[in-house]
Amino acid sequence: MAPDELRSLAETWLADDPDPATRDELTRLIAGLPGTAAELRDRFAGPLTFGTAGLRGRLRAGPNGMNLAVVTRAAAGLVTWLAAQGGRGPLVIGYDARHGSREFAEQTARVATGAGREAIVMPSLQPTPVLAYAVRALDAVAGVMVTASHNPPQDNGYKVYLGRELGGPAGDGAQIVPPADAGIEAAIRAVGSITEIPLGPAGTLVDDKTIEGYARSAAAVLTAGGPRDLAVAYTPLHGVGGATLLAAFEAAGFPAPVVVPEQAEPDPEFPTVAFPNPEEPGAMDLLLALAAATGADLAIANDPDADRCAVAIPTGDGGWRALRGDELGALLGDHLIRRGVPGTYATTIVSSQLLGRLCVARGVPYAETLTGFKWIVRAADELAYGYEEALGYCVAPGMVRDKDGVTAALTVAELAAGLKAEGRTLADRLDELATEFGVHATDQLSVRVDDLAEIGAAMTRARQAPPATLLGAAASVTDDVANNVLTFRTASARAVIRPSGTEPKLKAYLEVVETVTGGDLTAGRARAAEGLVTLRREIAETLGV
């Protein structure tokens, strides 16, 4: 795109931008042409689209960023689409503590009321699961949550949920899927000048009864009267989950968790972590130090919008170990099966195969889906449980049809307290599962890129020269071109490769399965760990990273 064409595009956008801050930003870039051409090309490379978890991008001016102009267009397109579908009822809107979140939420409400649609806005910063709960509790036609979840501080995002009328039984309170996402995007593209979009009042506030109802409903997910003696260390990771989780733990009868003080309050800069994601190295260091200092039984972290849950357990030698998402996924699934929770148990094609094998052995329905909770929660109308390896768990789909880090935290606390009452631990239960089903060791090769073209190049290399063997055994290849997923598999190893739908990353999900012979778990785990190291190297070579 030539500098003159870039200038014309940018000036057209500038004339329509309602935010003085992004107008100033764009004005400086226009004035800097031709030296700023590369930056402007990136900002006008195309509009943000609904990925794995809605719109998400950097806070910056232009159509390829999160800003007031993009949000105004998104809201206008959404309410137009809802009206075209004949959807009735209010639009409920939530927001987290990220830069711009409250402003984006309020603008969404004004666009909705300007179009004649009732808008109900959260009265304060709230976790994503509370918004998903409110869509159902308030019988809303749809919901919007302004959050970028666990992304870096410079990002924000826009998740859209549908109510029962347009989402159907399995999609009631769930994030949008095709063809709704394409229909909404088409409606967004059809929006004319922002200056012509009518803006109404800021809507009404979600009442305290609904907010309190979430905590009560979360506590009711557990078996009444069960053991509650458990010491928990907790961090909301500078996010908005703290007050909600503490209220839910109190309602469930657990002792109050001790909270990491440096991370207790919402802070959009996330000053104590490199990335506000419990999966990232170092993100849980303060939590584990607090857990060790206070003699906790369990350490729990939420990501900033509290839809994910991370858990760490003591190792017995004074140290702590964070459970992998697949380990917690299997523990929670096994626990709910033992409790007799009926329905289908689901996970994704990139998660461990352990849950599927457990379900076969226990005689309960099982399903696998594409990556993303919008697919997991639609695995069955009667869904009992769903999880993804990236620390997302849905333990109460009748309450929240999405991943929910608060109810997941309560459920793992219930499991840990029950085991503690028997003189056992989560580690003991993991040993039992490994002995019965084999050691399912998982890891992830994650490559963050600055240029998205690098992801496409790596996928091309893997398709053109797939590995003939993995860990010395012949490997088969499955190429799901439509969803851009490559799977390499042997009898005891698997690698699933796909671009991230929420971040500029290429991800390879690795799994090695080792049978436990003679009850020797230590040897089985050692073989699996060694296999993962080799598998990681082989896949990295295949991708050329």
φ/ψ of 194, rounded to 5, equals: -60, -35
**Angle 434-440-445 from CA coordinates, rounded to 5°:** 150
Q: Are the beta carbons of 195 and 97 closer than 8 angstroms? A: no
What is the maximal distance between C-alpha atoms in the chain? 74
Joined together, the tokens standing for residue 443 give 């890891």
> Read out DSSP for 358-422?
HHHHHT--EEEE-SSHHHHTTS-SSEEEEEETTTEEES-TTT-SS--HHHHHHHHHHHHHHHHHT
Cα dist from 284 to 50, 55, 299, whole Å: 30, 27, 9
Contacts of residue 124, defined as CB under 8 A and 6 or more positions apart, other chains included, come to none
Joined together, the tokens standing for residue 282 give 């170092």
Contacts of residue 543, defined as CB under 8 A and 6 or more positions apart, other chains included, come to 445, 447, 458, 459, 461, 462, 497, 506, 508
Q: Which residues lie across from 156 on neighbouring strands?
A: 57
The owner of tokens 């733990």 is 249
Rounded Cα distance between 327 and 321, Å, is 12
500 in active site:
no
Query: 264 in helix, strand or coil?
Result: coil
For residue 106, give the H/E element and its range.
Answer: helix 101-114
Q: Are the beta carbons of 306 and 245 closer than 8 angstroms? A: yes
Check 101, 124, 149, 217 and give the catalytic one. 149
Closest CA to 120 of 104, 144, 156: 144
Q: Which long-range contacts (CB under 8 A, 24 or more apart) does 175-184 make?
A: 175/53, 175/54, 175/372, 175/373, 175/374, 175/402, 176/50, 176/54, 176/374, 177/374, 177/375, 177/378, 180/81, 181/50, 183/81, 183/85, 184/50, 184/77, 184/78, 184/81, 184/160
For residue 15, give the H/E element and its range.
Answer: helix 3-16
> Read out DSSP for 223-236?
PTT------EEEE-
φ/ψ of 44, rounded to 5, equals: -115, 20
Catalogue the active-site residues: 149
